[in-house]
Structure 1
Amino acid sequence: MTTRTLYLLCSAAPPVFEIAGVVEEAQARGWDVCLGLTPTAAEWLEDSLPGLAALTGHPVRSRYKRPGQPDVWPSADAVLVAPMTMNTVNSWALGITGMWLVGFVAEAIGKGIPLTAMPCVNSAYVQHPQFLLSLETLREAGVRVLYGPDGFEPNAPGEKRPYPWAVALDAVDEPRS
């Protein structure tokens, strides 16, 4: 069987604390998983980073590499950006690539790498006019955005409920037309 490589790229939202189980589920589905984090997500998971690197078999990335350094990951067959915060949504849509994760996915649009993204924001954030504009921009660029009844639906500020990881993993498993 040919190995498929999934880049699992995560922002600093509470579901990131569940990432080890998500990696294991993706691996059970036949993916070789490379884990990338925003700098804040990497800080949140600092104590878990060695274990996550061992689990994936790849270094966990959160920063740009230096020019001339070799890439430490195999090429991506698919990318899942989840959980995706408001900052990541808007930075990506606007092309603000100060974070490695956003820089990678911005470039991945132009490289034609299949991209799936699922936000994790509360209902107060989605009232900001830029949020829905940014999601539409990403969709128009070819990103599969899992938002609404068939993906992530915002919760009230402070409300805790399960993040739909299975929906996201199912989406990256589906062939894209």
Structure 2
Amino acid sequence: MSESTAVGRKPFLYVVVCACGVAADVGRLIAAAQGRNWDVGVIATPQGLTFLDVQAVQAQTGHPIRSAWRAPGEARPLPPADAIAVAPATFNTINKWAAGLSDTLALGILCEAYGMGVPVAVLPYLNAAQAAHPAYRRSLAVLREMDVLIGAYEPHRPKAGGGADRFRWEEALDLLEPRLGARP
């Protein structure tokens, strides 16, 4: 648990959102986290941003959505994260993150989280053809070595989308809360 959490501030959760159909439902995770006494900020990949109702998410969290690097000297719009949930996480983001690529703000935050000791949970959302790719299996193994908590998800059929009804948003919180030492 971070020092700021220990002095009475609610724990702060970054929700990293990637570009896929279920991203539009991220308000479900935000509401669940707020119901469990978290404060929440959203970091979207550049393409993930296009899947969100930006005004609705910002109204729900009370914070701007971050998607781009801030300019030198610009104030930090969010406090430091006590934990991070990557939900939904795409094939692309999982593979780039595991490879240590940091070409977006979201990936930069995820790559730094490991070295900063910030607990991270990832809820993959991808199709079965992507999940069959050897790079995906290797990437999950790397993330596990980094102590990333990986949620269960049964990939949907290629070109079919779907699975939104089975996407377990709250699983990210269930995975993270024990890492904070006590339920927030």
Normalised TM-score (structure 2): 0.87
CA distance in 1: counterparts of 2:179 and 2:111, whole angstroms: 21
Q: 1:174 aligns with which of 156, 162, 178?
A: 178
Please report how far the alpha carbon of residue 69 of structure 1 lies from its aligned counterpart in structure 2 after TM superposition. Answer: 1.6
RMSD: 1.5
Question: Which ranges in structure 1 are unaligned for 5 or more consecutive residues?
Answer: none
Q: 2:64 aligns with which of 41, 59, 78?
A: 59
Q: 2:54 aligns with which of 43, 49, 53?
A: 49
CA distance in 2: counterparts of 1:110 and 1:167, whole angstroms: 24
Q: 1:38 aligns with which of 32, 41, 45?
A: 45
Q: 2:86 aligns with which of 64, 77, 81?
A: 81
Corresponding residue of 2:169: 165
Number of paired residues?
A: 171
Amino acid at match of 1:160: G
Corresponding residue of 2:77: 72
Corresponding residue of 1:13: 20
Runs of 4+ in 1 over 6 A off after TM superposition: none
Amino acid at match of 2:175: A
Corresponding residue of 2:105: 100
Question: Which ranges in structure 2 are unaligned for 5 or more consecutive residues?
Answer: 1-7
Amino acid at match of 2:31: E
